Amino acid sequence: MVRLAFLSSTCPEWTFEQMVDAAVKHGYEGVDLRVEWGHNHGLELESTADQRRDARAYAAAQDVMISCLAIGARFARATAEEREVAVDQVRRYAELASDLGSPFLRVFGGNLPPGQTMADLRPATAEALGRAAEASAPFGVTPCLETHDQHNDPADVAWIVEHAGSGNVGVVWHPAHHLRLGIPVDDAYARLRPWVRHLHLQDWPKGGLAAGERAGFLPIGEGDGHLARVFELLERDNFEGYAANEWIIKRHAELDPEQYLPQAARHLHAWRDAARRAA
């Protein structure tokens, strides 16, 4: 059964307790924490042992999972030294994730450095990701590469995790990013299926985007319908992970998470429930 979550990027001014309370109120079963961005949840590398323990206990008491820590580590770097920085970043955040009871770290391939091609850099990216996976394994935490940036082609992401040299790797499937390339949901899932551990969800405009056009904010439920198919594929496979509603809302934005989160939840629940009945 797919479980629903949302990222702290949808509510950057909320405390952790507010996030958990909203999850219960609006029918989400998990919360993803975007760290490193100064969100008001306050759970960062500097958090004390007491803060980590209290947060985990508060969520558990309300049956809410800290489903993923989203970090900014990027592995497609030009030099071995830069890739080692990303490995160390995962190692340090794996301890935080473990303390919070979160099984996954979201990581990036990132955009390619100037002068590098995907084919040239994929082996080094995979090797670094594999070392990060082995470093985080003792904490019971798995780094998951997101389909994002210039690593939004599912074939590239699948190649990297397949060649990472570690069984402790996964994928955060973010369908909206490969839709930019014109790659349908079914084709992407067929390629990524063995490694999908977690999802980040945004809606996609009906008719797509014109060349060079950037996507503005589109509330979940007002898009092209691809998310309904995502849930159908996951429920058919009895996927047991979390699908997290993601949008990056800047502080003091006009969009109120108390309005957006329940609106999105209604559509997510409807798609999930319909997919479950059909499975």
- Which pLDDT value is given to residue 103? 98
CA-CA-CA-CA torsion sign (198, 200, 206, 212) = negative
**What's the pLDDT score for residue 29?**
98
7-30 confidence digits (pLDDT tens): 999 999 999 999 999 999 999 999
State if pTM tops 0.85: yes
Residues 184 and 153 sit within 8 Å (Cβ to Cβ): no
- Per-residue pLDDT band for 89 (boundaries 50, 70, 90) equals very high
pLDDT in tens, 44-80: 999 999 999 999 999 999 999 999 999 999 999 999 9
- For 147-167, how does the pLDDT look when each residue is reduced to its tens digit (9 = 90+)? 999 999 999 999 999 999 999
The pLDDT of residue 100 is 98
Q: How far apart, in Å, are the Cα atoms of 112 and each of 78, 115, 118, 179, 266?
A: 8, 8, 7, 19, 38
Out of 3.20.20.150, 3.30.470.10, 3.40.109.10, 3.90.1150.10, the CATH code matching 3-278 is: 3.20.20.150
At residue 70, the pLDDT reads 98
pLDDT, residue 251, reads 53
Give tens-digit pLDDT for 119-158: 999 999 999 999 999 999 999 999 999 999 999 999 999 9
**What pLDDT shows up at residue 253?**
63
Angle at 209 between CA 207 and CA 210, to 5 degrees: 110
Q: Using one digit for the tens of pLDDT, what is the confidence trace for 212-255?
A: 777 778 889 999 999 999 999 999 999 999 999 998 876 556 67
pLDDT (0 to 100) of residue 149: 95
Distance CA 11, CA 18 (A): 9
| Structure confidence at residue 201 (pLDDT) | 97
Q: Which helix (H) or strand (E) holds 69?
A: strand 65-74
**Do 173 and 147 meet the contact criterion of CB atoms below 8 Å apart?**
yes
- Express as a percent the part of the chain with pLDDT over 90: 91
pLDDT digits 0-9 by tens, 25-36: 999 999 999 999
| In the chain, domain spans | 3-278
